[in-house]
Chains A and B, each alone.
Chain A
């Protein structure tokens, strides 16, 4: 194990420099990366899963995988898409595992717990409520763009697609959200009076 250098790094040190030092085996860089990125990653997991405990488990799993493949980061590339690509994979795996368990539970007549009822929203549905109405791929893109604040290019890299495909998904998501909000507005007459 490399000794922790303990040197006080500048607060604005770029993620790219931190990743490079992490690859070099500096424990302080690893700790700083965890400090700086965990909150956003946790938000990414909790927005898509809606469960705090599961999100914490996924966060831990994501960091372990990041650690295992840290050599695949290339110094000239941006860090966030690399991190989110791995985090996204953790989420997909977790989702698949959850589906497998749900299938087994159904098979043995133990029905999975139903999702918590949404709180009534007379004016505007919550962000998570709206996201839940979107297909998985659109939800993922919108979460990265609007919750995690990634750029289109970063989302494209993280999701292994092209910028054009990301834009298309986002526009489709907006169309869907518009119709959902219009339906709710008509049904509840909410917010426009």
Chain B
């Protein structure tokens, strides 16, 4: 056994005594012995004054009412995806599917499943971030970076760059449309999550914002007939980035406000 293996054992032991082999290593190793001794000196539980416990119990039971638990995580995530679908459908109905018409078959069967998968992953992550103590497989910011990066790469592969006379003007129009759908989507997502408890507002706000921005991106992919790669990467994807950054900032500021309702 070496020092690193001993560390692994200390980590997984959760306070239980070390197995004989590990204890033997700790006893003979100049580096591990002080560490094991120091960690075994962890303070023990000291009794709390009975009146403190009584006071807490009285407060909790003073007007105790039954509460309705949150829906299962899958249902919550489904609700989040539902917001995206409804607003995208409204966007396509209002603005028309000019973009869909000019896409090749290959682009159609690539772009929309990728965006749907991105939305599904973000909704799954957000549904878990909003419930304290949920298991996260990937950190929210890592997931955002991965989803954003993968979407950008796939869009870059699917579309060709070309010269565009009114790059900024046309782009600003698309950005405005994207954000015009991202903002109501953000409000509706917030409504879906109203009963949850967000403990880490930064990542949850960014994920929520990215999800809202995806609504804008979906509407743009259906509506915008401009297939210039640069236009799509800068202005269409830009709506998602702005929305994610805005969501993060708003959530952090809201959490620091004195009258917040979340724990």
Q: Which residues of A contact B (CB under 8 A)?
A: 1-2, 4, 23-27, 30-31, 34-35, 38-40, 42-43, 46-47, 56, 59-60, 63-75, 77-78, 80-86, 88-90, 124-128, 130, 145-147, 149-153, 156-158, 160-162, 165, 167, 170-171, 174, 177-178, 181-182, 185, 191-192
Which of chain B's residues 31-65 have a Cβ closer than 8 Å to chain A? 31, 34-35, 37-39, 41-49, 52-53, 55-57, 59-65
Q: Are A23 and B66 in contact (CB under 8 A)?
A: yes
A89 with B263, Cβ < 8 A, contacts A72-B132, A152-B12 known: yes
* Chain B residues whose C-beta falls within 8 Å of the C-beta of A1 in the assembled complex: 61-65
* Chain A residues whose C-beta falls within 8 Å of the C-beta of B49 in the assembled complex: 56
Is B14 interfacial (CB-CB < 8 Å)? yes
Interface residue from B69, B70, B199 paired with A89 (Cβ < 8 Å) = B199
Interface residue from B11, B61, B69, B129 paired with A160 (Cβ < 8 Å) = B129
* Chain A residues whose C-beta falls within 8 Å of the C-beta of B137 in the assembled complex: 162
Main secondary structure of the interface of B (DSSP, over half): loop
Interface residue from B47, B63, B73 paired with A39 (Cβ < 8 Å) = B47
Q: Are B11 and A167 in contact (CB under 8 A)?
A: yes
Main secondary structure of the interface of A (DSSP, over half): helix
Question: How far is the CB of A25 from the nearest CB of chain B, in Å?
Answer: 4
CB-nearest residue of chain A to B134: A157
* Chain A residues whose C-beta falls within 8 Å of the C-beta of B134 in the assembled complex: 77, 157, 160
* Chain A residues whose C-beta falls within 8 Å of the C-beta of B203 in the assembled complex: 160
Q: Are A56 and B35 in contact (CB under 8 A)?
A: no
Q: Are A74 and B132 in contact (CB under 8 A)?
A: no
Q: Are A72 and B66 in contact (CB under 8 A)?
A: no
* Chain A residues whose C-beta falls within 8 Å of the C-beta of B66 in the assembled complex: 2, 23-25
B15-43 interface code vs A (CB 8 A; 1 in, 0 out): 10000000000000011001101110111
* Chain A residues whose C-beta falls within 8 Å of the C-beta of B38 in the assembled complex: 124-125, 127, 130, 177, 181
* Cα distance A147–B46 in the bound complex, in angstroms: 12
* Cα distance A103–B47 in the bound complex, in angstroms: 34
Is B183 interfacial (CB-CB < 8 Å)? no
* Chain A residues whose C-beta falls within 8 Å of the C-beta of B133 in the assembled complex: 77-78, 80-85, 157-158
Known: A64-B60, A127-B41, A146-B42. 15 other contacts (CB 8 A): A27-B61, A34-B53, A35-B53, A40-B45, A42-B48, A43-B44, A69-B262, A71-B70, A72-B132, A72-B197, A152-B11, A153-B135, A160-B129, A160-B136, A191-B34
A150 with B14, Cβ < 8 A, contacts A39-B47, A177-B35 known: yes
B165-202 interface code vs A (CB 8 A; 1 in, 0 out): 00000000000000000000000000000011101100
Q: Which of B30, B52, B196 gathers the greatest number of chain A CB atoms within 10 Å?
A: B52
* Chain B residues whose C-beta falls within 8 Å of the C-beta of A158 in the assembled complex: 133
A85 with B199, Cβ < 8 A, contacts A40-B45, A182-B31 known: yes
A71 with B139, Cβ < 8 A, contacts A43-B43, A149-B14 known: no
A38 with B14, Cβ < 8 A, contacts A72-B70, A124-B41 known: no
Q: Please name the 3 residue pairs, one residue from A and one from B, whose CB atoms are nearest each other, closest first.
A: A82-B133, A81-B133, A25-B66
Q: Are B69 and A38 in contact (CB under 8 A)?
A: no
